[in-house]
Structure 1
Amino acid sequence: MKKSLLVLLIALVLPTLSIQDKDDRRKHGKNGSGCPLNPRTYNGQRIFKGSSSDNCTSDSSQPPDELELISRHAKEYLQGILSTRLLPAAYVLIMAVGIPSNAFIVACLSGRARTCSGAVLYLSLATSDLLLLVVLAFRVHYHLHGNDWVFGEAACRLVTACFYGNVYCSVQALMCVSVMRYLAVARPFLYKGLPKRFCATLATVVVWLACGAAMAPELLVRHSYQLRGLEITTCHDVLPYSEGPYTFLVPYRLGMIVAGLLVPAVVIAFAYGSIVRHLGRSSCDWSLYVRASTLIFVIFVLCFTPCAVIHVLHYVKLYTALQDHFYSYYGMAVCLCCFHSCLDPFLSYILSRTTTSKLHVVSIRKKPVGMSVFI
């Protein structure tokens, strides 16, 4: 009799404990499978078709097709005049100036690339700038139509990868050009003995392959999402960073900004600083070239430093505190990077007009040494 009463008591208590355990899990924001009821994401929380935003479904491994914004900063940016009017207007101006000028540079240098080492690097720079400006046409359409992407998911991934890939490729090409100029001025005997055209071609191929491989992760994740309430489909602007395959994007993009912008900026600063110092010791008057080199470096810093700094701040705040209010500033900083793409042909022309075919540099014995270079 006592055993029967004990079995009956256990049968009555266990369901009650199970119910209490489920209630405790709901209070802590999780269901029995460990899936968050309200997953915290960057700019929005994911919503699955056929389910409410407050419950996880059994097919949670499928990619979400709809997001709900949870940040007022994102809504203000997507609906504000900055992203729908000012940025596309700036992009149109950049394209109007940059596409013809870079196309002209590509046409002029195509015939010289086989004989001139410097032409290879300048051709690579002009090509990457031209591709970047062509891709901007899709971004302009996207912004002018209220940040509503209509070209499909595959086009969104491709445009995103080409846009950022060509930004990094342009910076790497500028770094290669600065190294070439540094060797010609500061290390003339080493520069004279190098197989210059082979080195320039090898550097160009390595830069393009590296930038292409670095953009592969952008092609592997979804970038376009419908936004509940705004009735638009964004491309790259709103992503659920705390979900599955997106968690690696924050450290990946921080690594890209360091390797793609900060490291080249240090190399370019060292190269131009050394060029100015060595030309200052020359017996010839290189004041025009020094001023031109300084102008080019200052414009580089003004165009790319805000993007690098704000990019790092944005992803650090996103990674540590899930705050995204730096994103609107990041959009303006990226616009500055694009301005450099339309200025590159004119800056190269200014620099070429301040030099002759003979560059006199200072040797160890303080005697001028003549050398033909293309800088």
Structure 2
Amino acid sequence: MADNSWAEGVSNGTVANASSELALEANFQYSLFTVIYSIVFVLGLIENVLALYFLCCRVKHVSHSCVYMINLALADTLFVCVLPFKIHYHLNRNNWIFGDMACRITGTLYYINIYLSIAFFTCICIDRYVAVLHPFTYIQIKLLHYLMVVAVLWVVALSIMVPLILGGPLHNRGMRNTTACFENFGTHSWTYRMAPYNILALVLGFVIPFSVILIFYPLIAKRISQIKHSVRKRKALSTIYIILVICTLCFLPYNLTHLLHFLMRIQVIQNEAFTNLIYKMRRVTLALVSLNCCLNPLLYYFTSSSKRWHLNFKLKFRSKLVYTICDQKLGESSCGYKLQQRQGNRKHRAGIN
């Protein structure tokens, strides 16, 4: 699931490579990344911390499938925690000042989150498919099975992070005497060092997950449409629509552009105008993919009972009604009394006694 596709630019060892990097310059990226990442950091941090609080502390009797959403929120929280470093980096025109180890950790966490999010979306899709089309099998699935799936995904992610963090340096001298982080790798690195990671990312992070989503969700929607109107039906359809919107807006453009970007870096695509367009498109999709951290909490809200997400501050001020059956001879079939008033009458009578 890992991806070394973050390596932008080419090696600056020769004049030809330097001129090629100049051709791939996109000046709009500095303000674009700074603004988008700042918004995502503020909103994403607040939303995902609240989501973890509600999912883990306030929501009772949650379904086992909420394990996926809790881990998705945890991955998003880790993602937004590295954004201040990225904001500083792009605000200073792609100049990294935090050292090589910080570059490895923040860059790896940034891209691991993208593919962990896609993986958890795929797990939610499969879970909904089994629940809707195979309900008798679904009730036999235990919490342990969900925990095992989540553990495998995190182990795979960590096993990919370790060699990247402990490997060779991932920051180097860029253009304008700046220090680039995860950038300026040459064609040789793209062809040999990064090719396995990129191929793995494209297959496990794009082809398989999106194939599952595109095949399973229409089947789920068709089955749900046959169910009579109900709250569960609306909630299930909302889940499908939200995931499809997030995938279409954030993940699909990123992965399609990454495929073109990889082909460009290994020189399969050599047209100068097209390569410049691909580079600029990739900068835009890198910003768009980070928006999933702000959109994912919508999924948590609509897949849980909405009443559980409200802080019940107003309940303290509501007057509760108690209904009793009265003798019809008194001219009333039922009488409603406010609980607070009844308690006040009791205290009054007690004072008289």
Provide TM-score, normalisation by structure 1.
Answer: 0.70
Q: Does 1:198 align with 2:144?
A: yes
How many percent of aligned residue pairs carry the same amino acid? Answer: 24
Taking a change above 3 Å as real, the CA distance of residues 71 and 115 of structure 1, as seen in their structure-2 partners, is: closer
Partner of 1:120: 67
Equivalent residue for 2:51, pick from 79, 94, 105: 105
One-letter code aligned to 1:190: T
Segment of structure 1 superposing worse, 113-122 or 211-220: 113-122
Structure 2 unaligned blocks of 5 or more: 1-7, 309-353
Partner of 2:38: 92
Q: Is the partner of 2:288 in helix, strand or coil? A: helix
Q: CA deviation at 1:269?
A: 2.4
CA distance in 2, matches of 1:84, 1:354: 39
One-letter code aligned to 1:333: T
Mapped contact 1:43–1:69 kept (Cα < 8 A): no
Alignment of 1:121-160 (within 5 A): 121-160=68-107
Q: CA deviation at 1:265?
A: 1.6
Partner of 2:186: 240
Equivalent residue for 2:123, pick from 163, 168, 176: 176
Q: CA deviation at 1:217?
A: 4.6
One-letter code aligned to 1:45: N
Alignment of 1:222-371 (within 5 A): 222-227=169-174, 230-242=176-188, 247-285=192-230, 286-287=233-234, 289-321=236-268, 323=270, 325=276, 326-353=278-305
Residue correspondences, number? 292
Q: CA deviation at 1:322?
A: 7.1
Mapped contact 1:160–1:218 kept (Cα < 8 A): no
CA distance in 1, matches of 2:234, 2:48: 28
Q: Is the partner of 2:180 in helix, strand or coil? A: strand
Segment of structure 1 superposing worse, 102-111 or 303-312: 102-111
Mapped contact 1:69–1:227 kept (Cα < 8 A): no
Mapped contact 1:310–1:329 kept (Cα < 8 A): yes
Structure 1 unaligned blocks of 5 or more: 1-40, 48-52, 55-66, 357-375
Taking a change above 3 Å as real, the CA distance of residues 332 and 113 of structure 1, as seen in their structure-2 partners, is: farther
One-letter code aligned to 2:22: R
Taking a change above 3 Å as real, the CA distance of residues 114 and 284 of structure 1, as seen in their structure-2 partners, is: closer
One-letter code aligned to 2:262: Y
Taking a change above 3 Å as real, the CA distance of residues 216 and 253 of structure 1, as seen in their structure-2 partners, is: farther
CA distance in 2, matches of 1:192, 1:46: 60
Q: CA deviation at 1:118?
A: 2.2
Q: CA deviation at 1:92?
A: 0.6
Q: Is the partner of 1:45 in helix, strand or coil? A: coil
Q: CA deviation at 1:279?
A: 0.9
Q: CA deviation at 1:148?
A: 0.4
Deviations 1:15-66 (A, max 9, x none): xxxxxxxxxxxxxxxxxxxxxxxxxx9523337xxxxx89xxxxxxxxxxxx
Taking a change above 3 Å as real, the CA distance of residues 165 and 270 of structure 1, as seen in their structure-2 partners, is: same
Q: CA deviation at 1:338?
A: 1.0
Write 1 or 2 for the structure with the bigger share of helix: 2
Mapped contact 2:115–2:205 kept (Cα < 8 A): yes
CA distance in 2, matches of 1:301, 1:332: 14
Q: Does 1:188 align with 2:135?
A: yes
One-letter code aligned to 1:177: I
CA distance in 2, matches of 1:334, 1:217: 23
Mapped contact 2:11–2:187 kept (Cα < 8 A): no
One-letter code aligned to 1:352: S
Q: Is the partner of 1:225 in helix, strand or coil? A: strand
Mapped contact 2:238–2:302 kept (Cα < 8 A): no
One-letter code aligned to 1:180: D
Partner of 1:45: 12
Partner of 2:114: 167
Mapped contact 1:254–1:312 kept (Cα < 8 A): no
Q: CA deviation at 1:193?
A: 1.4
Q: CA deviation at 1:246?
A: 6.9
One-letter code aligned to 2:105: L
